Amino acid sequence: MADRQRLGAPSGRRPGGALLGVVPFFLYTTAFLLLPTLIVIVGAFLDGDSRFTLGNLEALRSPAVTTALWQSVALSAVTAVVGAAVGGVLAYAVSTAPAGSLVRRFVTSLCGVLAQFGGVALAFAFMATFGLQGFVNLWLVDLGVNTGGGAWLYTWDKGLTLVYLIFQIPLMVIVFLPAVDGLRPQWREASETLGGTTWTYWRRVGGPILLPPFVGSLLLLFTNAFSAYATAAALISQGSPLVPLQIAASLNSETVLGQENVGKAMALEMVLVVAVVMVIYAWIDRRSSRWLQR
């Protein structure tokens, strides 16, 4: 049997035997990815005694949770828009540098680090710069500015917006640069040969081509900020102004009777928001890939 299979063509005459090869992968991802996701989805509808209930969803309408959701969405939206605008311009600036040049490698590596591996370390760097003892804060105090001891840094609307931007802008560069690189110089030359100005080029050629990938990247930035936990946890020590912090609080605290699965309901809420955004993203990405071969 084994020999026959070994001699068989790679396309596989015995699909049943060939399928055995992917079993380990499916077992693993079932245990550590699909099962946890399922636990969240199902658990959101169960009470403490594993009976079906809509009570957890009711709890989502409590003021603390709705405020956290609204603040999470606002923070993610603002940092996504600002991050996409600044990061988009930076990505274009980088794309005008020749491929393989030092400045390009430097900026893309820096962006890679800040976008992906920052978290707690970046939050600490901001505290050391803008916090009570930070040199920027000390300068501002010397200049007579009332900084309130740098307390603004630890608020979700002012502090977190600034800190989130330091990983949102770099992430925009990483996801948007391939699209900007897809702009052919010939298109610009053609536009200029036909008498177009820089403005006409961006209005009629560059803009329309870059718009779908730009919006797509903006949506990715939104989900990125929406899912972020480490930075917020490092900066915010009082209260839970964002959904991820609410979930963490519900995991850490001794659960109130009848509220055991509210954390799962909030997690489900997060997954739904991210899933909706990602579906729109996938749709836009399909459209944008028509022009830009990556």
Partner 1 sequence: MSGRSASLARRQRRFRWVVITLVVAFFVLPLLGALEFTTRELRTGARTGATWATLVDVNKVSTDYPALKEGFLYSIGLSLITVLIMLALLVPTMTWVRLRVPGMSRTIEFICLLPLTVPAIVLVVGLAPVYSWLSAWLTYFFGADIGESTLWLGLAYVVLVLPYAYRALDAGLRSIDVRTLSEAARSLGASWATVMWRVVLPNLRGAVLSSAFLAVALVLGEFTIASLFSRNNLQVAMFLLGKSDAQISVAVGLASLVFAFLVLFAMSFVGNTRSGTSPLSRWRGRLRKEPS
Of 57, 60, 85, 121, the residue at the interface with partner 1 (CB under 8 A) is 121
Interface with partner 1 (CB under 8 A), residue from 68, 78, 160, 267? 267
Give the C-alpha separation, 128 to 218, whole Å. 29
* Count of other CB atoms within 10 angstroms of residue 44: 22
Which residues between 206 and 235 bind partner 1 (CB under 8 A)?
220, 223, 226-227, 229-230, 233-234
Which of 77, 85, 285, 291 binds partner 1 (CB under 8 A)? It is 285
CA gap 88, 211 in Å, rounded:
11
How far from the centroid of its chain's Cα atoms is residue 155's Cα? 20
Q: Minimum Å distance from CB 156 to partner 1? A: 16
Residue among 148, 155, 187, 189 that touches partner 1 (CB under 8 A): 189
DSSP for 121-158, please give it: HHHHHHHHHHSTT-HHHHHHHHTT---GGGGGGGSTTT
Cβ neighbours, 10 Å, residue 260: 17
Nearer to partner 1, 38 or 211 (CB): 38
Q: Are 72 and 243 in contact (CB under 8 A)?
A: yes
128 makes contact with partner 1 (CB under 8 A): yes
CA-CA distance, 28 to 159, in Å (whole number)? 40
Residues in contact with 150: Cβ distance below 8 Å, sequence separation at least 6, in sequence order: 130, 131, 132, 134, 137
Please list the residues that pair with 52 across neighbouring strands.
Answer: 46
Between 24 and 144, name the residue whose CB sits nearer to partner 1.
24
Is 12:243 a contact under the CB 8 Å cutoff?
Answer: no
Selected range binding partner 1 among 49-57, 61-69, 141-149, 184-192, rule: CB under 8 A: 184-192
Query: Phi/psi of residue 46, each to 5°?
Result: -115, 145
User: How far is Cα 149 from Cα 9, in angstroms, rounded to an integer?
Assistant: 72
Among 78, 166, 183, 209, the residue binding partner 1 under the rule CB under 8 A is: 166
CA quadruple 135, 138, 139, 144: dihedral, nearest 10 = 170
Q: Is 159 in the site for partner 1 (CB under 8 A)?
A: no
Q: What is the closest distance, in whole angstroms, from the C-beta atom of residue 54 to partner 1 in the complex?
A: 19
By CB under 8 A, tell whether 68 contacts partner 1.
no
In the complex with partner 1, the residue whose CB is nearer, 94 or 210, is 94
By CB under 8 A, the residues from 73 to 92 that bind partner 1 are 86, 89-90, 92
State yes or no: residue 115 binds partner 1 (CB under 8 A).
Answer: yes
Closest CB to partner 1 among residues 200, 289? 289
135 in contact with partner 1 (CB under 8 A): yes
Which position among 54, 64, 93, 211 is part of the footprint of partner 1 (CB under 8 A)?
93
Size of the site for partner 1 (CB under 8 A): 106
Distance in angstroms (rounded) separating the CA atoms of residues 82 and 71: 16
Subset of 1-60 contacting partner 1 (CB under 8 A): 6, 10-12, 15, 18-19, 21-22, 24-25, 28-29, 31-40, 43
Q: Please, are residues 169 and 86 in contact by the beta-carbon 8 Å criterion?
A: yes
State which of residues 57, 125, 140, 141 lies at the interface with partner 1 (CB under 8 A): 125
Residue with tokens 């609080």: 249
Q: Which residue stretch of 53-61, 116-124, 140-148, 202-210 sits at the interface with partner 1 (rule: CB under 8 A)? A: 116-124
From 46, 75, 80, 94, residue interacting with partner 1 (rule: CB under 8 A)? 94
